[in-house]
Structure 1
Amino acid sequence: MKLTRLAAVGLAGSAALIMASSAFAADYTLSVNTALSTSDPLYKGLEAFVENVDKRTNGALEVKLFPNSQLGPDEDVLEQARVGAPVAVVVDGGRLAVFENEFGILGAPYLASGYDGIRKVVTSDLFETWVQKLRAASGHQVLSFNWWQGERHLLTNKPVTKPADLDGLALRTPGAPVWTETVKAMGGVPTPMPFADVYSGLQLNTIDGTEVQLPAVIGANLQEVISHITKTGHINLITGLVTSAIWFDSLPEDLQVALREEALKAGDIASYGTRDALAKIEEDLKASGVTVSEIDLTPFVEATEGVYETLGYTELRKQVNEMLGQ
């Protein structure tokens, strides 16, 4: 059957529209997974990353965000990245330590103070050697590792002032050795589970508490199922934006440079935003009825000192301390 002139014109017009829309599609797409909710102050840094990468690359590289672990647990996304998938994940050093051991020290107890302290570590020449080792060991590419989520504290339903108060308490923590050894050293029973399950775990008493940074408390509404927050600050939670080395290497060099530079800038936006939000978050938690306590940290610092030796980080800690002037 022959097309009428009008139909032919219509089809040609549709084809032109399709071709035009395709011309504006990004050449590359990166899907970023995070366990954080959109209300977390760190998420604003991710949104800035999306916008700034789009501007910097003139739309050639599109970044898509997937909060609340929509792409799956961090470990699953890391495995996808290993085989070349165009995915990235906001992840802590403990989870990367299974591929390259040095990363684990970033989650070790009382390593550095606040964001400015830990930032010196993750932007150093020493850290960049770890980045290259990770690429070789697992096929992961660090875009930047300056995504600070705050210091982690203890969440329980009873007062805690010393390590002995944690005796026998099942405390949720990520499963990486640096986390479990820290909780064990503080006196608790480390209980690994996905963060998404923490609320129900506390509600059903399958765990007695958890340790987490303040923004995540609000993001997961944990103030509804715990009564006490003890500000131990035992882990200075620094995380990184990690993607596939295979995918990263497939990018033109200018996009590789843009991606790493914009990730570093966005990490600062996220981290300083987090720092500025902490006081208000603490006020909101107190207003909700949670008791937030400052304590003498000395017993916890002393109790966790042996974690470095247990995990083989004694010499590496000396290098980090020299860098920090400690």
Structure 2
Amino acid sequence: MKFTSLTPLLAAAALFGAGLPALAADYTLSVNTALATSDPLYKGLESFVAGVASASGGRIEVKLFPNSQLGPDEDVLEQARAGAPVAVVVDGGRLAPFVNEFGVLGAPYLASGYDGIRKVVTSPLFEEWVQKLHDTSGHQILSFNWWQGERQLFTKKPVTTPADLAGVRMRTPGAPVWMETVAAMGATPTPMPYAEVYSALQQNVIDAAEVQYPAAWGSKLQEVTTHVTKTGHISLITGLVTSAQWFDGLPEDLQKVLRDEALKAGDVASYGTQDSLAQIEADLKAAGVTVTDIDVTPFKEATAAVYVKLGYGELRDQLQAIAAGQ
């Protein structure tokens, strides 16, 4: 068969239509997440795959690895620092060792819901942090508008006040802002990878976890806990972070594609999360979990000192003003 009247691109398309292999992408990005495929955020990642393929004309292929298949988040961050073509969905606390400001995103009661915190992570101030992280640690943020919901307490006993958490070993990520928040709430912070939480609760290595609804349901925590207390203490905003070295090696048009499509997909993920929360709560109750709404004032008061302790007091006020649109 001759293609004398076809361009090379059309020739390739004709070959593909004839059942032969398609041309490989110029670049491949492997994305790791601790979340299950049932999580609304994962649907956003699938949107990212499709968006990048379309907008790049097939020049970039994104591959997804749910359930931490590439390893713990911290390990993937290190791979990215070394220049590997990998990305990972992480919270600001895990980036704070490189650029301290990111830690405030995981601080208690910074903002509620998605729309306010989205204003923060798309602001000029946040973009300054993005550049600082790039230059300091070798990480490139594609977007940071991946909202996973407000974190609640999953326990084996009723909890209504901070005093009820005395002696409770509660899993949390190991970043200082998370550890300090859980300690201020009255529990004993116990860091471990999220993939280990179910078995740790099952074997009584820990007594509780603080986690957002979609992740809790995806990992079946309703099977190993009996109570949910709706503290909403952290509005979990996360980002898609890759290697600055790898990113810088891309043509500028593809750099733009990745950042634009990550922002669009983050909205898909976040609004999908928002829409899923009521149903997940109903499912938790149907599974026999007691879900309790409480007055969160004592928890807000108990955790207020976390900002001061970590040096985020002034920054908190600035970000809350941005979130409020002031």
> Which bin holds the TM-score, normalised by the shorter protein?
over 0.9
Q: Which residue of 2 aligns with 1:124?
A: 123
Identity of aligned residues (%): 74
Contact 2:118 2:323 survives alignment (8 Å): no
Q: Which residue of 2 aligns with 1:157?
A: 156
Letter in 1 for 2:190: T
SS at match of 2:171: strand
Contact 2:153 2:231 survives alignment (8 Å): yes
Q: Which residue of 2 aligns with 1:91?
A: 90
RMSD after superposition: 1.4
Contact 2:154 2:210 survives alignment (8 Å): yes
Equivalent residues in 2 for 1:1-326, closer than 5 Å: 24-325=23-324
Q: Could you tell me how far 1:22 is from its partner in structure 2?
A: 7.5
Q: What is the alpha-carbon distance in structure 2 between the residues aligned to residue 179 and residue 21 of structure 1?
A: 51
Letter in 1 for 2:194: F
Q: What is the alpha-carbon distance in structure 2 between the residues aligned to residue 261 and residue 225 of structure 1?
A: 40
SS at match of 1:62: strand
SS at match of 2:103: helix
Q: What is the alpha-carbon distance in structure 1 between the residues aligned to residue 54 and residue 174 of structure 2?
A: 38
Q: Which residue of 2 aligns with 1:10?
A: none
Q: What is the alpha-carbon distance in structure 2 between the residues aligned to residue 38 and residue 273 of structure 1?
A: 13
SS at match of 2:237: strand
Q: Could you tell me how far 1:316 is from its partner in structure 2?
A: 1.1
The farther-off stretch of 312-321 and 108-117 is 312-321
Letter in 1 for 2:149: G
Q: Could you tell me how far 1:23 is from its partner in structure 2?
A: 6.7
Q: Which residue of 2 aligns with 1:13?
A: none
Q: TM-score, normalised to structure 2's length?
A: 0.93
Q: What is the alpha-carbon distance in structure 1 between the residues aligned to residue 177 and residue 77 of structure 2?
A: 18
Q: What is the alpha-carbon distance in structure 1 between the residues aligned to residue 320 and residue 196 of structure 2?
A: 36
Q: Could you tell me how far 1:70 is from its partner in structure 2?
A: 0.3
Q: Could you tell me how far 1:85 is from its partner in structure 2?
A: 0.3
Q: Could you tell me how far 1:21 is from its partner in structure 2?
A: 6.4
Q: Which residue of 1 aligns with 2:4?
A: none
Spell out, residue by residue over 1:27-62, the C-alpha distance to the aligned partner (whole angstroms, 9 max, x if none): 000000000000101100000000111011110000
What 5-or-longer segments of structure 2 have no aligned partner?
A: 1-14
Letter in 1 for 2:45: L
Q: What is the alpha-carbon distance in structure 1 between the residues aligned to residue 279 and residue 82 of structure 2?
A: 42
Spell out, residue by residue over 1:70-97, the C-alpha distance to the aligned partner (whole angstroms, 9 max, x if none): 0000000000000110000000000000
Spell out, residue by residue over 1:161-190, the C-alpha distance to the aligned partner (whole angstroms, 9 max, x if none): 000000110000000000000000000000
Q: Could you tell me how far 1:315 is from its partner in structure 2?
A: 1.6
Q: What is the alpha-carbon distance in structure 2 between the residues aligned to residue 256 and residue 111 of structure 1?
A: 31
Letter in 2 for 1:179: W
Contact 2:118 2:145 survives alignment (8 Å): yes
Q: Which residue of 2 aligns with 1:8?
A: none
Q: What is the alpha-carbon distance in structure 2 between the residues aligned to residue 51 and residue 23 of structure 1?
A: 17
Q: What is the alpha-carbon distance in structure 2 between the residues aligned to residue 321 and residue 212 of structure 1?
A: 23
Letter in 1 for 2:277: L
Q: Do the aligned partners of residues 170 and 49 (structure 1) sit closer, same or farther apart at CA in structure 2, a change above 3 Å counting? A: same
Letter in 2 for 1:259: L
Q: What is the alpha-carbon distance in structure 2 between the residues aligned to residue 323 and residue 216 of structure 1?
A: 28
Q: Which residue of 1 aligns with 2:5?
A: none
Letter in 1 for 2:144: F
Q: What is the alpha-carbon distance in structure 1 between the residues aligned to residue 98 and residue 323 of structure 2?
A: 25
Letter in 1 for 2:224: V
Letter in 1 for 2:271: Y
Q: Could you tell me how far 1:117 is from its partner in structure 2?
A: 1.2
Structure 1 outlier segments of 4+, above 2 Å:
20-23
Q: What is the alpha-carbon distance in structure 1 between the residues aligned to residue 31 and residue 20 of structure 2?
A: 24
Q: What is the alpha-carbon distance in structure 1 between the residues aligned to residue 149 and residue 321 of structure 2?
A: 23
Q: Could you tell me how far 1:105 is from its partner in structure 2?
A: 0.3
SS at match of 1:45: helix
